[in-house]
Chains A and B, each alone.
Chain A
Amino acid sequence: QVQLQESGPGLVKPSQTLSLTCTISGESISDGRYHWSWIRQHPEKGLEWIGYIYFNDNTYKNPSLESRLSISLDTSRNQFYLTLTSVTAADTAVYYCARVTTGYKHFDRWGPGLTVTVSS
């Protein structure tokens, strides 16, 4: 049974860079059947898709974040990563990593989420 787990700092200062890791267990990130995605949820608000990466390093990013966003992976560690530069209070959110299925794409497995606060 695949499991995903987010890790990273819970507090980041404005203008700094946010770096998060998603560790996958129970499945290889190199399995070509899936994409691997980041999603966030602002406090008391809805869900925002950030972007995803495929095992061959192809990435798809939300244009609203693209200029500040990098998504990468490390197959040897079975992990993928989010890097978001120049953060502001508007980036305060719960960050989720998730698996994207093939077929009618949807997020079928999620990590428990990591709360990130941007504050000085």
Chain B
Amino acid sequence: DIQMTQSPSFVSASVGDRVTITCRASQGIGAWLAWYQQKTGEAPKVLISGASSLQSGVPSRFSGSGSGTDFSLTITSLQPDDFATYYCLQTKNFPYTFGQGTTLELK
């Protein structure tokens, strides 16, 4: 299985901050990576697919980059609605695997 390792696991930030979350794959996955946001009690919501394609309706302060084994999700100018848990997902190989999650907390 491809292991997906996110860092950091927790991050404290303030409204208006810029935050970057990274995801590393245990082997190359090209651009077969998506990013999700999950709020407590809700299903995950896709933000980015194909490593860098912003989904329709997702604010432009979210951006994704990377290919191969190293990827990042950047949120510029954090808004109150952004405090949540973020996951990466690889769909290059079966079984599909998620990162362990990064919780973004209000400082």
Least distance between A15 CB and chain B CB atoms (Å): 25
Q: Cβ of B53: which chain A residues have Cβ within 8 Å of it?
A: 104
In the complex formed, the residue of A with least CB distance to B32 is A104
Contact with A along B44-86 (1 / 0, CB 8 A): 1110011101010000000000000000000000000000000
In the assembled complex, how far is the CB of residue B86 from the closest CB belonging to chain A, in whole angstroms? 11
Among candidates A62, A106, A111, residue contacting B46 with C-beta atoms closer than 8 Å: A106
Tally inter-chain residue pairs, CB-CB below 8 A.
54
Asked if A46 and B89 make an inter-chain contact with CB atoms under 8 angstroms apart, the answer reads: no
Chain B: number of interface residues, binned into ranges:
20 to 34
In the assembled complex, B34 has its CB within 8 A of some CB on chain A = yes
**For this complex, into which size category does the number of interface residues on chain A fall?**
20 to 34
- Bound CA span A64–B51, Å: 26
Once the chains are docked, how many angstroms separate the CA of A36 from the CA of B69? 27
Given contacts A49-B95, A104-B49, contact A110 B44 (CB under 8 A): yes
Tell me if A96 counts as interface (CB < 8 A to partner B): yes
Instruction: Give the residue among A104, A108, A110 with the most B Cβ atoms within 10 A.
Output: A104
Q: Which residues of A contact B (CB under 8 A)?
A: 46-49, 60, 62-64, 96, 98, 101, 103-108, 110-113
